[in-house]
Structure 1
Amino acid sequence: MMIDEVPLSTIDLTTTDARPLISLAGPGDYFALLKPRVMSLVVLTAVVGFLAAPGEMNPILGSVSLLAIALGAGGAGALNMWYDADIDRIMSRTANRPVPAGRIARESALAFGVALSALSVMLLGLASNWFAAGFLAFTILFYAVFYTMGLKRRTVQNIVIGGAAGAFPPMVAWSAVTGGLAWESFALFLIIFLWTPPHFWALALFKMKDYGAAGIPMLPNVSGAASTRRHIFVYSVILAPVGVLPFWLGIAGPIYGAMATLLGVQFVVHAYRVLRMADEDIAMRPAKSLFGFSIVYLFALFGLLLLSTIAAAEFGIHVL
């Protein structure tokens, strides 16, 4: 009997290890492998790195370089989903991703991630310089190998150290323009690096069961909720003044400085509410509120930096 004579309802399209026997993947599934929400943050922070860096870059080569950084982030995301398919299947937040849901085979996700990563590094090297390309390659390896394969399942400090991977893109962009690095680019890195732990620990507080079932040693599961709340508050207090560093270093204007200060104070207020949250608070509204605000905070900060750098290019001074 030919396969097209068999009713589709009688065909098992997936195996128990979530590898499709008949390809169910559409363009949207491959796009989902890129982790588009993470990629949007990478693109925003990279654009700020490009515009804040001293010097100029050909607009076409700059656009290609930005595309390369975005593809590198997407490739790293695909490699992360390839390796983490087993635990993604267990967690409610990630169970519907293309690989654990059985729409894309793990081997396809691996090939897609490797191809995108290699393409991104080559593109950046050809469009800008090989120092930036090497930095991008290091970033991809740091996230896909050092964090995903090494730290995530082994240490409670997984998010702290692994968060560096998400903080590198503005430095990569800076090096694409200048061929090197500077303290200003490190300040952009530091903002994202310090933001990552309170952001993800807030999530981990109300997703403890998911992380526990997946066997991931997140701070609340290992050290308890009270210790996690204290860590969130300490990181938030450190983050608030660091968020103002671009103003003090001269890559943003007074409006950015004032807004970054206000946003930092709000971040600390949210973190204090988490600190004071009762252990028996099942709803965990303060943690959910901090998690939501932390996203607004980072996008607002880099959105303001973007406007400030554009205004500086237009008027010659940092009016924003």
Structure 2
Amino acid sequence: MAFEVTKTEALDGGEVRDFVALLKPRVMSLVVFTAVVGMLAAPGGIHPVLGVVALLAIAVGAGASGALNMWYDADIDAVMRRTSARPIPAGRIQPAEALGFGLTLAGISVMVLGLAANWLAAGLLAFTIFFYAVIYTAWLKRWTAQNIVIGGAAGAFPPVIGWAAVTGDVSLAPVLMFLVIFTWTPPHFWALALFARDDYARAGIPMMPNVAGDASTRRQIFAYALLLAPVGLAPYLFGFAGPAYGIAAALLGAEFVRRAFVLLRRGDAERHRAAKALFGFSIVYLFALFAVLLGEALLRPWGWA
């Protein structure tokens, strides 16, 4: 991450970039993107200024979740190679500062979203922050190998929140977007866990490969890929998305299944390479699907989608 430095470069106090790093900007980018899709795909409309304010509130809420996650996970971040340079374990920000920062941002984001949009969207944002920071981070992550299966709900809520910010309700369309992200999350993170297994073992996190073994994890990734393919098509099958999305979902879903099958069949010497390839493609898969949804939403007023 661009904001990370080594422990030998630790500062006496946190700089702006360290507090930005607490927000997990890369994770926030996915949250903001899917929330934008939810907002623009929703029927009706919202005043542009209020829409921007609502989107910023959702982004800040996502950042608050990241800060609270880093505060609680500082002990395991310190022993994991890929997270040891984060601001808290590196000593650049004190835990109490991160906690106060996260709680303040959480409160502000929920209040602003309620005032700019509506209180249903604000309530969903509050629940998402709570779910990620408490249910997932403080409980599921350290307790069960199903942590990412259940905890993935937190990352699947942004398009629902974006939709609710515009319409004031929740219907089938945002639920389908939720299900796409929710089903995508386990194979995405388990692919990462396959080549980061030693890091998770060092921290004592019960990720699937560490608990059930690599072979079982690869079988479960393949099973989820088979499930994700039709779930990814669901917005088109239920009439929410257009033919461009249907074609993209079919092709991307088939490629996801193919790559998961390659991972399933690879021997021990090649599985890390196949896992990294699937992990990288999974990011492309989700961004591409929501990019097509976004394109169709933008073109729909002109009758082009």
TM-score of the superposed pair, with normalisation by structure 1:
0.90
Q: For the residues of structure 1 that align with 2:265 and 2:70, how far apart are their CA atoms?
A: 35
What is the Cα deviation at residue 285 of structure 1?
0.7
Is structure 2 residue 237 aligned with structure 1 residue 237? no
1:196-240 deviation line (CA, Å, top 9, x unaligned): 000000010111111011000001000110100000000011101
Is structure 2 residue 299 aligned with structure 1 residue 311? yes
Which of 58, 63, 66 in structure 2 is aligned with 1:74?
63
Is structure 2 residue 102 aligned with structure 1 residue 100? no
Q: Is the 1:203–1:288 contact (alpha carbons within 8 Å) kept by the matching residues of 2? A: yes
Q: For the residues of structure 2 that align with 1:251 and 1:317, how far apart are their CA atoms?
A: 15
What is the Cα deviation at residue 250 of structure 1?
2.8
What is the Cα deviation at residue 62 of structure 1?
0.8
What is the Cα deviation at residue 193 of structure 1?
0.3
Show the counterpart of 2:52.
63
Which of 21, 38, 46 in structure 1 is aligned with 2:35?
46
Is structure 2 residue 280 aligned with structure 1 residue 292? yes
Which of 3, 9, 12 in structure 2 is aligned with 1:22?
12
What is the Cα deviation at residue 21 of structure 1?
8.3
Q: For the residues of structure 2 that align with 1:118 and 1:316, how far apart are their CA atoms?
A: 40
Show the counterpart of 1:4.
none
How much identity, in percent, do the aligned residues show? 62
Show the counterpart of 1:213.
202
Residue 21 and residue 58 in structure 1: after superposition, are their counterparts in 2 closer, same or farther (change >3 A)? closer
Residue identity in the other structure for 1:181: V
Residue 167 and residue 267 in structure 1: after superposition, are their counterparts in 2 closer, same or farther (change >3 A)? same
Q: Is the 1:50–1:170 contact (alpha carbons within 8 Å) kept by the matching residues of 2? A: yes
Structure 1 stretches lacking a partner, 5+ long: 1-13, 15-19
Between structure 1 and structure 2, the one with the greater Rg is 1
Q: For the residues of structure 1 that align with 2:265 and 2:82, how far apart are their CA atoms?
A: 26
- Range with greater deviation from structure 2 (251-260 or 269-278): 251-260
What is the Cα deviation at residue 22 of structure 1?
2.3
What is the Cα deviation at residue 261 of structure 1?
0.8
Show the counterpart of 1:264.
253
Task: Provide the aligned C-alpha RMSD in A.
Answer: 1.5
Alignment coverage as a number of residue pairs: 298
Q: Is the 2:74–2:89 contact (alpha carbons within 8 Å) kept by the matching residues of 1? A: yes
Is structure 2 residue 73 aligned with structure 1 residue 84? yes
Show the counterpart of 2:4.
none
Structure 2 stretches lacking a partner, 5+ long: 1-6
Show the counterpart of 2:290.
302
Q: Is the 2:149–2:186 contact (alpha carbons within 8 Å) kept by the matching residues of 1? A: yes
What is the Cα deviation at residue 316 of structure 1?
3.5
Show the counterpart of 1:281.
269
Which of 122, 136, 147 in structure 2 is aligned with 1:133?
122
1:248-300 deviation line (CA, Å, top 9, x unaligned): 2333221121011101111011100111121x326611101000110111111
Is structure 2 residue 140 aligned with structure 1 residue 151? yes
Q: Is the 1:251–1:309 contact (alpha carbons within 8 Å) kept by the matching residues of 2? A: no
Q: Is the 2:88–2:94 contact (alpha carbons within 8 Å) kept by the matching residues of 1? A: yes
SS in 2 for 1:244: helix
1:83-142 deviation line (CA, Å, top 9, x unaligned): 001001111111111111111111111111001110000000000111111111000000
- Range with greater deviation from structure 2 (114-123 or 249-258): 249-258
Q: For the residues of structure 2 that align with 1:283 and 1:131, how far apart are their CA atoms?
A: 44
Residue 150 and residue 304 in structure 1: after superposition, are their counterparts in 2 closer, same or farther (change >3 A)? same
- Range with greater deviation from structure 2 (68-77 or 25-34): 25-34
Residue identity in the other structure for 1:229: R
For 1:142-221, list aligned pairs within 5 A: 142-221=131-210
